[in-house]
Chains A and B, each alone.
Chain A
Amino acid sequence: MHAFANPARFLSLARPLTLWFGWVGGLLLVGCVVWGAVLGPADYLQGDTVRIMYIHVPAAWLGMAGWSGIAVASAMQLIWKHPLAGVAARACAVPGAVFAALCLATGSIWGRPAWGTWWEWDGRLTSMLVLFFLYLGYIALSAAENDGDGADGRMSALFGLVGAVNLPIIHFSVTWWNTLHQGQSISLMGGSKIDASMLWPLLGAALGASLLFGAIILMRMRAELARTKVEARMRRMAAQ
């Protein structure tokens, strides 16, 4: 990781990766959503509403993955003072918040026909809403820190680490509490309870959305590095 502490070295890798992640991820996401939501079968119990799963599940996964990215990058920033770690953490925030919001919105739309309600204060839904509010807090805090002269982003890094406590709460909420939200359908150890005709397009959509998420983060990191470069030049020019 320290090999990429040099922004020039990071950019030489980030430029081609942005393109590849963006195109491959975008095409895979669209292809797998069409495969699952348009061509795939309806559920024997939930009917056609199960087709919302191909966007809801990737959005939930990336809403949580975004904060995992913030937490890991924040740890790297605080422990090793990695110069790009703060940039990476800030780049995860807005896309993570958007995916968390999409998870909540599509879940609510799915909940209305499945449960008969748009919203219920159960463990999974509430902890996901808390994650969305944490994102908003992180975005506001890091923006405020960036405005201050000489700020090192330590407060937002600490906030990013502390906020990670919510991730296991979201994950285990369906196990710890008797919730309206269904239990875990896919696990690394226990296999899948989903039929293969729905599982493969779902996994493909999740992989595509993840690659697209990676491309968005790289774009936002490149934008911040370029802005920092311009600001440094302007300061040097003003000092001359």
Chain B
Amino acid sequence: MTQISYVLLAYGLSVPVLAGLVALSYAAMRKAERAADALGRRD
């Protein structure tokens, strides 16, 4: 492997993991807040 291959491997692993963490955290927040808002409107 060349030096650049190691660099690409490091970023190729890190970028999807970080993007996934942000996306999953955002989706969980939106889902929970929507459920709370919907229940609040019913009261």
Segment among A98-106, A153-161, A168-176 that sits at the interface with chain B: A98-106
Q: Indicate if the CB atoms of A220 and B39 lie closer than 8 Å.
A: no
Set B6, B28, B35: member contacting A219, Cβ < 8 A: B28
| Contact (Cβ within 8 A) B29 A220 | yes
Known: A48-B3, A48-B4. A230 touches B39 (CB 8 A): yes
By DSSP majority rule, is chain B's interface helix, strand, loop, or mixed? helix
Q: Which range holds the interface residue count of chain A?
A: 35 or more
Distance, CA A233 to CA B6, complexed state (A)? 51
List residues of B (1-43) whose CB comes within 8 Å of A's CBs: 1, 3-4, 6-7, 9-11, 13-14, 17-18, 21-22, 25-26, 28-29, 31-33, 35-36, 39-40, 43
Smallest Cβ-Cβ distance to A97: which chain B residue: B21
Min CB distance A140 to B, Å, is 19
Do B29 and A223 have beta carbons less than 8 Å apart? yes
Q: Contacts A48-B3, A110-B6; is A102 near B18 (CB within 8 Å)?
A: yes
A102 to B39, CA, bound (A): 38
CB pair A51 B29 closer than 8 Å? no
A193 within 8 A of B: no
Tell me which residues across on chain B come within 8 A of A33, comparing CB atoms. Answer: 11
* Contacting residue for B21 out of A55, A56, A98, CB 8 A: A98
A106 to B14 Cα, complex, angstroms: 8
CB distance from A207 to the nearest CB of B (A): 15
Write the residues of chain B forming the contact surface with A, with a CB cutoff of 8 angstroms: 1, 3-4, 6-7, 9-11, 13-14, 17-18, 21-22, 25-26, 28-29, 31-33, 35-36, 39-40, 43
Pairs across A and B, CB under 8 Å, 6 listed: A49-B6, A105-B10, A109-B9, A113-B6, A227-B32, A230-B36
Residues of A with Cβ closer than 8 Å to B? 18, 22, 26, 33, 37, 47-49, 51-52, 55-56, 59, 94-95, 98, 101-102, 105-106, 109-110, 112-113, 212, 215-216, 219-220, 222-224, 226-227, 229-230, 233-234
